[in-house]
Amino acid sequence: MSSPAESTPDAGPQKRSGGLVVFERWNRKLHFYSGVFMLFFLWLFAFTGLLLNHPDWTFHENWKNRHETTVERAIVAPGADAVGDLGQARDIMRQLGIDGEILWTTTRTVPSQFEFQVRRPRHFYFIKADWGQGKATLRQADVNAWGIMKVLHAFTGNVADDPRNRRDWVLTTVWSYSMDVVAAATIQMVLGGIYLWIRQPGKRWAGGIALGLGTLICGVFCVGLRWWY
């Protein structure tokens, strides 16, 4: 009758490779579920990127086909609790019954006059408030589904080099954090995919050629242009 050690001669190697087995199992799971999670996000960005890259395709014109209305509404001066431009803008929005991401476009020259924009993926609001006269002019532009998709492609709430334009709408924050998750999941998928590719010797040459071409083309635009132009 053989001893336990003699009946399981590979117990040592199996124990040493156990961590690698667990890693590979979780890598496959993350690769699969990350792809499922990002399916429609990636389709959205790929499709809208294609539309933005071809503005001459007329079927997706949205701003040209927007629907606009302009009304004048009575307002009162913001209360003492409306601190700063942001607080006053929110008070005016509350009076007008609108919500969205605030975008500053002009510098105030008259304390009683206020001009700013509010954006949502479908609605664009252009507000000129004058509580000295007790009124606000509200111009609203609504875009179609093509416009919504293209807005979402770059809807971050932040404007580079302008500290006034920062996220101030909760849905903008939720959307931007969702994009952070998509970015992290994409990085994980790429790294996990490279590992899965390396583990398949029969596909290393084809994968290496694809990786090399992608690296070369991306490198030309990201790094090479600073040397050649």
134 and 111 belong to one structural domain: yes
Same domain, 123 and 183: no
Residue 93 inside a domain? The answer is yes
pLDDT at 28 over 80: yes
In angstroms, the Cα distances linking 72 to 99, 138, 192 are: 17, 6, 56
Range with the largest mean pLDDT of 13-27, 78-92, 123-137 = 123-137
- The reported pLDDT for the residue numbered 142 is 93
pTM, rounded to two decimals? 0.70
pLDDT higher than 70, residue 14: no
Enumerate residues 6+ apart whose C-beta is below 8 A from 174.
Answer: none
- 128 and 198 in a common domain: no
Mean pLDDT of the chain: 82
**Domain that residue 213 falls in:** 17-61+145-153+171-224
Split into its structural domains, the chain has a count of 2
